[in-house]
Amino acid sequence: MTTQQKITAIQAIITNHHDNVAAMSAANVGQGLEALVIEAMNTAFKDDLAVIFAANSSRPAQNVRRKRQA
């Protein structure tokens, strides 16, 4: 995944999270359910970002460092 692809994916994740927060606010759910929904949304948000940050960057072979042989 290139840096630009990661940036685009992160922006999409953030936009989706903001949309979810707005939808939940508009739904006017009860306080107990709201806390549960917020926790679930935050967990999903962190998990989505973790996938992006865990993805290896694609880079030209000459930039890849190799372990030194002893």
Domain borders along the chain are 3-59
Cα 49 to Cα 46: distance, rounded to the nearest angstrom:
5
- pTM for the whole structure: 0.71
Query: Quick one: pLDDT at residue 28?
Result: 86
6 near 50, Cβ under 8 Å?
A: no
Please list the alpha-helical segments (H only) found in 1-70: 3-27, 31-54
Q: Could you tell me which residues come within 8 angstroms of residue 21 by beta carbon, excluding any fewer than 6 positions away?
A: 41
Q: Which residue has the tokens 């973790």?
A: 50
Query: Quick one: pLDDT at residue 31?
Result: 86
| Chain segment 35-67, per-residue pLDDT in tens | 999 999 999 999 999 999 998 876 655 554 555
